[in-house]
Amino acid sequence: MRIRAFILAATAALTACGEQQGIAPQRMADAIFAVIEADRAAYTNNVVNRLQNEEGVIKADEHWKDTKALPLPAQMLRMGSERVAEQGAGFNYALLSQWAINSQNKPRTDLERQGLEFIVENPGNNFYGTEKLGDTEYFTAIYPDVAVSPACVSCHNEHVDSPRKDFELGQTMGGVVIRFPL
């Protein structure tokens, strides 16, 4: 009896402890996003904007290998996310849009579509939800990707593969989707 009571008490204590120490899904997604966003901003400002727009040394171009140019910020983000996926880090992320230039970047799940619509209609807000894909329950967070510079707008509006030609400065153009199993 006493041993059983002790085991039950110990299990309860461990569970409580685990709950306290575990990171809530939203905090974890927010932290991952902070790193993705920081890398994206650092590359855009200190590499692309400085070398292309300020110093005119080298251009950023979608076909960067053929043209010996810099990869676009969106392409850098995808290279990073592909590497994370290869390493089996337990989460994945992507830059998606309902008006994607690259059809690989279109939303695929209902929750992705719902979340992208939400962040476009509610500027300044993130979207959080859970979705079951196969047998697994996932936590999915979506963060707005905003047209912060005229270059975002002009390049997308003029791109032959862009399904949308009327983006304006300050609008949400898509979102960073972060997903991990619960």
Using CB under 6 A, list all residues that contact ligand HEC.
62, 72, 74-75, 78, 95, 97, 100-102, 105, 145, 147-149, 151-152, 155-156, 173-174
Give burial (CB, 10 Å; 0-12/13-18/19+) of 162: middle
Spatial contact of 51 and 58, defined as CB atoms under 8 Å apart: yes
State the nearest-atom distance from the C-beta of 69 to ligand HEC, in Å: 10
Displacement of CA 97 from its chain's centroid (Å)? 11
Q: Which is nearer to ligand HEC, 97 or 126 (CB)?
A: 97
State the nearest-atom distance from the C-beta of 180 to ligand HEC, in Å: 21
Q: Which is nearer to ligand HEC, 30 or 98 (CB)?
A: 98
Q: Which is nearer to ligand HEC, 32 or 100 (CB)?
A: 100
Residues 148 and 150: their CA atoms lie apart, in Å, by: 7
State the nearest-atom distance from the C-beta of 77 to ligand HEC, in Å: 8
Displacement of CA 138 from its chain's centroid (Å)? 15
Spatial contact of 178 and 141, defined as CB atoms under 8 Å apart: yes
Q: Which is nearer to ligand HEC, 32 or 95 (CB)?
A: 95
